[in-house]
Structure 1
Amino acid sequence: MAVKPKVLAAGPALIRAATAVTEEYERISSELGLTMQQARLLFILHRQPTNMLGLGSALRLTKSTMTGVVARMEAAGLVVRVPDEADRRNFVVTPTERGAQVAEEFERLLRTEVRRMLAVLEPAERDTLAVLLTAVIAGHED
């Protein structure tokens, strides 16, 4: 029989859960030869190629830091930069075929790990957790 864990207050529970997910994010990124920033960037780009300004904003990085991150990923063959048709002063960053494959593998591994973490909950509990976390995220983004 499994021992029931001590119930934590909401704040510490959220922090511990976020830490657990972040640890898995970091582990999976590392296994794929990526930093967490690179994994996040590939994840974003795989869904929607975007310009450098949009990436910097999404990752909360300065323009110079973003340029360095993208340059390293370009050198690794994960992304390419092409002039932005809408604004020739900017570049659109797109994953290469290899970058797209790495992004898909990252997403698959992370999804598997998160499902494993949530497997201790009943389906109705997962639904309730989703509603509650969505409210926390919305409150944070306001």
Structure 2
Amino acid sequence: MGHGIALIVLAGVCLALIMTCVWLATRLQRLNKSMEYQFRQHAERHLKRDQSMQELTRRVDTYIGVCVKMGDELQALQQLAAPLPERLSKLEQSDPAMISYIQASRLVTLGASVEDLTQSCGLTKGEAELVSKLHKARGATPPAN
């Protein structure tokens, strides 16, 4: 009879171990499902981040290209504008009539009237009115020296 009780106790311990194994296997499956879900969520976040990074990289590349093109155009404009002061000076010296118009333009910037222009620069009334109207049309910006 001593062996029978030992077998029953052993069977009970085995049954408890089996139930514990089943419980652990169930917990392990739930844990695996949870980890798979978290992994998918993590992968989706990384994919979205990578897509955002690619879009931002594309935009930055576009902006850099535009800036380089603008820089090239500004450099071309600088080269084009560099000789203008010298050319204007030569033009002022070579054409006496041009001196009157340049002087009239400067006087208009200072607030001279049409009558002032006709007296100071020797312009006709029509020419003085034209210089005055051109000055107003340009938004009262002073001429470059």
Fold match by TM threshold 0.5: no
Bigger proportion of residues as helix: 2
Q: What is the TM-score with the length of structure 2 in the denominator?
A: 0.29
Q: What is the TM-score with the length of structure 1 in the denominator?
A: 0.29
Rg larger in structure: 2
